[in-house]
Structure 1
Amino acid sequence: MNRWSPQPAPEEADGLILFDGVCVFCSRWVRFVIAHDPERRFRFAPIQSETGRALAARYGIDPEAPQTNAVVWGGRIFFKSDAALIVLGQLSGTRALAGLRAAPRFVRDPAYDLIAQNRYAIFGRTETCMVPSAEDRARFVA
């Protein structure tokens, strides 16, 4: 089993997305999820928050240099391309993209890694985590 294989996470709340809160690309991903999740199934924890750091530590993610986002779904935690495709499979208008999970992880994850390793250079980095709107604030855990 590889380090980023899905792992049991029965004590974690389903729908929790762990993301890099100072990454512009990651913050856009969160805004995209919010816009396409009218059922409000997903909640968000920036890795820079107390909750995010604790979750990262439990699952082997370095909060100082995160290599992956993560999502808890169905009592398991998913990483890298699995995490993104699990989320897309639940969102309005993107469910068909979940079919990409049929491709092996060793094919999908190198593309994910290329973006993740260069995300700050391509998309930018902020000094502080994104600030959600008042309407969405309850979906963020600290």
Structure 2
Amino acid sequence: MTRPIVLFDGVCNLCNGAVQFILAHNEAETIQFASLQSDIGQQLLAHYGVSPEVDSLVLLKDGEAFLYSDAALKIAQQLTFLYRFLGTIGLLVPRPIRNIVYRIIAKYRYRLFGKRDACRLGTPEEMARLITSKQND
């Protein structure tokens, strides 16, 4: 089984914060990461048939691409017990309602949380979970 991959907006402060949160709460250290803007991120989007302009976290897991609130909640299910529980409960909310909230936050994320010029470099442990080429896939 391949490890789950989270594709994130590498210049978004909120998205980088989400990656830090996932790193802190994914005790099994199974989740890998790539920025949407990276070559490998774009290759993975194409492979899964996802638009290169997608405005969402993307979770690639078990041969499927999850977007918007599905991605966020299914990521939560990969974390420690409390977040697994909350992710499961969150999935009970109808998708259209969840996605409205997700898309509003996504639309205003740069205005609310700011933007950086480049993806932040992490610690060596974090960098080991960052996918930078097809060989790590």
> With structure 1 as the length reference, what TM-score do the two structures score?
0.84
Contact residue 15 and residue 72 of structure 1 kept, 8 A? yes
In structure 1, give the amino acid aligned to 2:92: A
Give the 3 Å change call, closer, same or farther, for CA 60–75 of structure 1 in structure 2: closer
- CA deviation after TM superposition for structure 1 residue 79, in Å: 0.5
Contact residue 61 and residue 68 of structure 1 kept, 8 A? no
Q: Which moved more, 1:95-104 or 1:17-26?
A: 95-104
Q: In the alignment, which of 33, 41, 44 is matched to residue 30 of structure 2?
A: 41
Q: Which runs of 5 or more structure 2 residues have no equivalent in the other structure? A: 133-137
Superposed structure 1 runs of 4+ greater than 4 Å apart: none
Cα RMSD (Å): 1.5
- CA deviation after TM superposition for structure 1 residue 125, in Å: 0.4
> Which residue of structure 2 lines up, in the alignment, with residue 72 of structure 1?
60
1:18 aligns with 2:7: yes
- CA deviation after TM superposition for structure 1 residue 127, in Å: 0.4
- CA deviation after TM superposition for structure 1 residue 74, in Å: 2.7
> Partners in 2 of 1:61 and 1:36 — Cα distance?
29
What pairs with 1:87-126 in structure 2 (closer than 5 Å)?
A: 87-92=75-80, 93-98=82-87, 99-126=89-116
Query: Secondary structure at 2:26's aligned position in 1?
Result: coil
> With structure 2 as the length reference, what TM-score do the two structures score?
0.87
Q: In the alignment, which of 19, 40, 50 is matched to residue 51 of structure 1?
A: 40
> Partners in 1 of 2:51 and 2:11 — Cα distance?
16
> Which residue of structure 1 lines up, in the alignment, with residue 51 of structure 2?
61
Aligned residues: 129
